[in-house]
Amino acid sequence: MEITRATRDAPPAHYIFSIESFSLLVGTGVEKYESHAFDVQNYKWRLSLYPSGNKKSNGEGFISLYLQIEDTQNFPRTWEVNVNFRFFILDQIHDKYLTIEGVSLLYVHAYK
């Protein structure tokens, strides 16, 4: 997977996951915070945010943000979804959006 980063002025157009006070969220000790499910291309998605990093993936001390697919119970026994995604993170100090884009990300799942 190739990851690219850039900055821009325009906000995202499709889905906005807003946190009013990130420092308060970190202060609560919450390990994981999830967005509401949202639809894109007939799939349901959710954002999962680990404010202090995902310790299970060696991300402690960093912010971990994941895009996860929902409602997979009715998918075939094996399936795949090719995804191009872009995260926008607002830098409030500079009033710009940091964009992080994943190219040709592949989700694959096989039930046991």
The ranges assigned to domains in the chain are 2-110
- What's the whole-model pTM score? 0.73
Interatomic CA distance for residues 25 and 22, integer angstroms = 5
CA distances from 40 to 7, 13, 96, 106 (A): 24, 12, 25, 15
Domain made up of 2-110: CATH architecture: Sandwich (2.60)
How many Cβ atoms are within 10 Å of 108's Cβ, its own excluded? 9
Q: What band does 106 get if pLDDT is binned at 50, 70 and 90? A: very low
* Confidence check: pLDDT of 107 > 70: no
Query: Of 77, 2, 67, 3, nearest to 41 (Cα)?
Result: 67
Show Cβ contacts of residue 97 under 8 Å, excluding neighbours closer than 6 positions.
7, 8, 9, 10, 11, 12, 88, 89, 90, 91
Residues 22-45 pLDDT 10s:
787 777 878 898 999 999 888 899
Residues 64-89 pLDDT 10s:
888 888 888 888 888 888 887 888 88
